[in-house]
Copies of this chain bind each other. A is one copy, B any other.
Amino acid sequence: MQEPELLHEEKVFKDPVHRYVHVREKLIWDLIDSPEFQRLRRIRQLGTSYLTFHGGEHSRFNHSLGVYEIMRRILETFEGRITLTREEKLLCLCAALLHDVGHGPFSHSFEKVFRFHHEEWTKEVITGDTHINQILRRVSPQFPQKVAEVIAKTYNNKLIISLVSSQIDADRMDYLLRDAYFTGVNYGNFDIERILRVMRPHDEGIVFKFSGMHAVEDYIMSRYQMYWQVYFHPVTRSAEVVLNKIFQRAKHLYQQGFAFQREPVDLLPFFQEKPTLADYLALDESVVFYFMHQWSRDADPILSDLCNRFLDRNLFQYVEYNPRDFRRLSELKQLLTDAGIDPAYYLEVDSSSDLPYDFYRRGKEEERIPIMLLMPNGEVAELSTKSEIVESISGKRRFDYKLFFPADKLDALPREVADEIRKRLGVMEDA
């Protein structure tokens, strides 16, 4: 490794959440300047949430800078407490900056329908033939691979991994603060300065001084609140359902040989499920929106209707749903089919457990790195064994099932048919 270059003078980005994002390493500056990273400006951090919280229009670019900045501050507090080599520090900073670089537009729905994981694209962007890869290679030929490993949690240094991915890492801390700031929902606030102050490097990952336990509790509560108030908001989920149905319908039409008025060239590789890295990098929200516009005026009534719904924010309504009530669901499907409404596109059960709720549970399916406290006597203890509040909510997976449907479509049906369906949906018609 040849010594990476420093900038002549520290540069900063004005950031509403952290005030300033500070850059001293030329490597970081060049990564931010790369086309693959700039592309993140065209992908919203919160996907469809802006349809619920109009302030939530910020991009993944925005968030990625924030994660980098928190990592930079963590490393600053570690000065003198642990010896990290220059390369290890750069590894932390690059992994923080690039952890989301493989995200595409509306990842949640898009990946589900077109079957891939953005995590793999992240790896590709870092290790494949990209500007980012070229820049990272300046550190050493193995450096890109290491960055990818840290992000994939397969790197052989638990401490470094835990800084990027754990229950209380730079990523989560930034998105809670940032999403709270932009949406205006205060629940995401917590005292990050205090948390950084009590964070200590340890063999098995980061630990937090017991004296800061309350700040960590408060962070956990903020997460809990943000998940249920923002990330799982039913209106956002309704928008996700509509989006999902759009992708599903378009793919279906393509597979049926439907003649689109304007061929969605940029999306064909995805319809065929064989996109190249170049195809993927050419994709951003503008492409998706562009074809939504086209499809909203295209011949297929379902696709056209769904696109108009999304563009004009005329989303599906929702009611509570008991996941064991299969009968209600199948009756509804039948009634809708009989009424000429395709339930494959106009009825959906969505469960928020699809969106992982990841408070720590020891020995459960997904392995999670617990939050550890450093006790005054030098021992280390898992958080929920010390905090009653955290204990009370940890490991309890909470589910929320809702049934989504387009209420307005029922109005066009004959009264008795509509009422029959409404009865099973449990919605009253407005008197």
Contact = CB atoms under 8 A, between A and B. Distances in A.
Interface string A409-425: 00000000000000000
A274 interface: no
Interface in A181-208: 181-187, 189-191, 193, 197
Contact of A392 (B225, B288, B392): B392
A61 B54 contact: yes
A55 B41 CA distance: 10
Interface in A126-165: none
A16 interface: yes
A371 interface: no
Given A54-B61, A55-B16, A58-B57, A218 B187 contact: yes
Contacts of A12: 197
Contacts of A193: 19-20
Interface-central residue, A42, A61, A183, A186, by most chain B CB under 10 Å: A186
A262 B65 CA distance: 35
A427 B293 CA distance: 45
Interface stretch (A278-286, A321-329, A361-369): A278-286
A228 interface: yes
Given A19-B184, A193-B19, A54 B262 contact: no
A42 B313 CA distance: 12
Give chain A's interface residue range (CB within 8 Å of chain B): 35 or more
A324 to B, nearest CB: 21
Report how many copies the assembly holds: 4
A46 to B, nearest CB: 12
Contact of A184 (B16, B266, B314): B16
A62 interface: yes
A225 B214 contact: yes
A265 interface: yes
- Is chain A's binding surface mostly helix, strand, loop or mixed? helix
A113 interface: no
A253 to B, nearest CB: 20
A16 B183 contact: yes
A53 interface: yes
A337 interface: no
Contacts of A289: 42, 284, 286, 290
Contacts of A191: 186-187
A23 interface: no
A259 interface: no
A186 to B, nearest CB: 5
Contacts of A388: 392-393, 396, 398
A29 to B, nearest CB: 12
Interface in A265-320: 265-266, 282, 284-290, 293, 308, 311-314
Given A262-B265, A287-B293, 18 more contacts: A12-B197, A14-B55, A15-B54, A16-B55, A16-B183, A33-B313, A33-B314, A35-B308, A38-B313, A41-B51, A41-B54, A54-B59, A55-B62, A187-B218, A221-B221, A290-B290, A388-B396, A389-B392
* Ranked 8 nearest A-B pairs via Cβ: A392-B392, A16-B184, A286-B289, A290-B290, A35-B312, A286-B286, A16-B55, A14-B184
Interface of A: 12-17, 19-20, 33-35, 38-39, 41-42, 50-51, 53-55, 57-59, 61-62, 65, 181-187, 189-191, 193, 197, 214, 217-218, 221, 224-225, 228-229, 262, 265-266, 282, 284-290, 293, 308, 311-314, 388-389, 391-393, 396, 398
25 contacts: A13-B54, A14-B53, A14-B184, A14-B185, A17-B184, A19-B193, A33-B312, A33-B314, A38-B311, A41-B54, A41-B313, A42-B289, A54-B61, A54-B62, A57-B62, A186-B191, A187-B191, A187-B214, A214-B228, A218-B225, A221-B221, A221-B389, A284-B293, A286-B289, A392-B392
